[in-house]
Structure 1
Amino acid sequence: MKVAFSPIYRYDQLPEGHRFPMEKYDLLPQQLLYEGTLTQRDFFHPKRLTEEQILRTHTVDYWHKLKAGTLSKKEIRNTGFPFHPSLVERGRHISHGTLQCAYHAMQEGVSLNIAGGTHHAYADRGEGFCIFNDIAIASNELLHAGAVDQILIVDLDVHQGNGTAKIFEHESRVFTFSIHCEHNYPLQKERSDLDIGLPDQTDDEAYLRVLEDVLPDLIRTVSPQMIFYLSGVDVIATDKLGRLAMSREGCRRRDEFVFEQCCEFGVPVAVAMGGGYSHRLSDIVAAHANTFKAAEEIFF
């Protein structure tokens, strides 16, 4: 199983104000190796996005501000953390990791990025801990290369993928699907091709019932050649930014169902981790690790 990870993600080297919520990206690979889910041979180091690849999704003005470090105070505040050039560099590697995962998934059925899922980034701005929109970038690159003709984005992070929805609002070759907590960030939501907003405190059975009712028919209708799955674990009850009431086991069952459907329909799936903000870092890492274990069990 090919998994994107690079030492470029060493967030412990950042000043303390830049670290939240990023520490998990260093700990997750260690946990997966310790549990025996992955070996060192499973990891690959993502390349770096070119400017040409960035500009197929993001605007020239926004990219120039990132490159020169000239974002306004408001623009920096909207990203959720202080600006630092290393965050831009990391974003270029992380986003390319999602693209590379897509190509690996075409060969093996599934591939996962240790990071990614930065779905709040718009073409012209960053928001909510997101600078580049990695799934949007990867989708646009696949379409540009003629590698696929139809893409389905399955966004199961607790927050709506507003940036992704806006980027693809006029692109019929990319179908955006989001299940999220309705009364949660972002306050002003964009319109995905299919949005399902759940009430606060939705539990395992209610969540899984919605997913099971919708996803198989959606795959059948859209007929994608690639699925990007944003597997945020901020849906669990311990998440301080979530507001849903799923258990870690319910989150694992969610991942299993998505992977089972991808297998059944024969559609490759590239996975990005998305959010996870539980009070205990160990809860976040364990929930993310379950996604990798589910992929390993179902595909290999």
Structure 2
Amino acid sequence: MVRTKPPGLIYHPIYSQLELPFKHRYPIGKYQALYQALLELGVPANQFTCSEIVSTELLLSVHQTFYAEQLISGQLDAKAMRRIGFPWSEQLVTRSLTSVGGTVQTVQLALQQGLALHLSGGYHHAFAGEGSGFCLFNDLAVAARYALTQGVEKVLIFDCDVHQGDGTAAIFTDEHAVVTASLHGEKNFPARKQQSSWDLGLPTACTDEEYLVAVRQSLDYLLCIHQPDLVIYDAGIDIHQQDNLGLLHISTAGVAERDWYVLSECHKRGIPVAAVIGGGYQRDIDSLTQIHLQLFYAAFKISGVSLPNTNSWFHALRT
């Protein structure tokens, strides 16, 4: 499959428009910073698709009605909100529903043109009936369920966030059309892991070399055995050595090589990829943005579209 146009890009300014308590650990400004960085790299504003709020029907194809209604109306109890990690607000709910809709649109574009990237997403700790770890609703699960309604017979959710995709695993326990794969820090959150279709717990302080071997072997095996019609890729960068919550020791070069390998291997096989940026918790937003950009550099290179300034992207050339 030869790509002759840039990857689809999905974004909404609401992603960074959330007021959080002082010194809250969630880097809410990273979405706006990433969007601005892509504009400065020469991506025209009209190339971005503005995400829309997910439909109620699609949301409830994954989440329990009672939970969704309680959360959206602000009636979820305080303990459940503490587990999520955000104070409730209408702004929080609208932002979350828009992000879920954005990941669905990312799948739509990926199925149409082969590759699409969402400047948000990866809320994999949300279960059908409860939220957790900064995740209200599970956009990966909703988007996978949507894909199945569009004639896709098998979806691979390839989750490389440092935290196990426990909510995603639990949601699809009995859904054989969705393969859940999680490569995560074994000693990191959540303490109680769920059983994915494929789990690989990585040791604390894992280095580039052992991490990239794990990614390559896992992806090669999963693509060969399951032959998915779509890959939903969670390109979390909380694996990075400078991440506040990561505990692994992966360099920016390692992140770049991972992203290049995942996208290029799927490209070789003609498998559409819908990617989300996932986690990343450095307090330095500028540094965080540069690491998230590795996914976009790889996607544009695979698409055969040049950006005016890609001199900083040299890492994936080593693969």
- TM-score scaled by length of structure 2: 0.90
Mapped pair 1:22 → 2:28: yes
Structure 1 match to 2:105: 100
Which of the numbers 218, 222, 226 marks the counterpart of 1:222?
226
Which of the numbers 273, 279, 284 marks the counterpart of 2:283?
279
Structure 2 match to 1:265: 269
Q: Which has the higher helix share?
A: 1
SS in 1 for 2:34: helix
SS in 2 for 1:271: strand
Gaps of 5+ in 1: none
SS in 2 for 1:14: coil
Kindly provide the amino acid, as one letter, of the partner of residue 75 in structure 1: A
> Per-residue displacement from partner, 1:79-127 (whole Å, max 9, x unpaired)?
1111111111111111111111111112221101100000000000110
Report deviation, 1:41. 2.1
Gaps of 5+ in 2: 1-6, 305-319
Structure 1 match to 2:253: 249
> Cα 1:122–1:282, aligned 2, differ >3 Å: closer, same or farther?
same
Structure 2 match to 1:180: 184
- TM-score scaled by length of structure 1: 0.96
> Per-residue displacement from partner, 1:199-251 (whole Å, max 9, x unpaired)?
00001111001111221121011111110000000001000100000001110
Kindly provide the amino acid, as one letter, of the partner of residue 246 in structure 2: G
Mapped pair 1:118 → 2:123: yes
Mean Cα deviation higher: 128-137 or 81-90: 81-90
Regions of 4+ moved over 6 Å: none
Q: What's the C-alpha RMSD, in Å, of the aligned pairs?
A: 1.3
CA distance in 1, matches of 2:44, 2:167: 34
Structure 1 match to 2:314: none
CA distance in 2, matches of 1:42, 1:274: 21
- How many matched pairs? 297
Which of the numbers 50, 55, 63 marks the counterpart of 1:58?
63
Structure 2 match to 1:196: 200
CA distance in 1, matches of 2:250, 2:269: 27
Q: Is contact 2:33-2:285 (8 Å) kept?
A: no
SS in 2 for 1:104: helix
> Per-residue displacement from partner, 1:143-179 (whole Å, max 9, x unpaired)?
1x24201000000000000000000011000000110
